[in-house]
Amino acid sequence: MQEGHPGTEDGSAVAGSKDTVHSIAVAGSVATVSSTAVAGSAATAVSAGVTASVGTVASTAVAGSSGTAGSVAVAASVLTVLSVAVAACVAVLGCVACTRCIACVLCLKCTDCIGCIACSNCTGLRFAIGKTDVHA
């Protein structure tokens, strides 16, 4: 694996890029949601999908340099907070396993993706990544 290149021969993304780490996480999440949603509840499917993302990001960190691993670890901790926020929203709003909330780039405009009833569950995530205006 070489930093500075878009990927390796086996198709895995290079660690250290925020975009590539997100891409790996989304791919893992969608696969998990697709298989889990059939047997489990909607809330379980979404939560399991985000957990799978964290696992994928963590394995990418192992392959990177210590500097890269540090930045990937931060992304993993944000995804952990996100999994709690998404699970809370699903419990209130319901879910049809469309996976749009898993493919999140932390823009936090959740109204566009899953709707919003001002339950404030997303507030914890906003503070976690330094955004304090809940309606920004």
Query: Which region holds residue 91: left if phi is over 0, alpha if psi is between -120 and 50, else beta?
Result: alpha
The residue ranges of DSSP E strands in 5-98, in sequence order, are: none
What distance in Å separates the CA atoms of residue 95 and residue 43, rounded to the nearest whole number?
7
How far apart are alpha carbons 75 and 34 in whole angstroms? 23
Distance CA 121, CA 115 (A): 13
Per-residue pLDDT of the chain (136 residues), as tens digits, is: 444 444 444 444 444 434 333 333 344 443 333 333 333 344 444 444 444 444 344 334 344 444 554 555 555 555 565 666 566 555 655 555 455 555 555 555 555 555 555 555 555 544 444 444 444 3
Segment holding 33, helix H or strand E:
helix 18-39
Report helix, strand or coil for 13.
strand
pTM of the model: 0.20
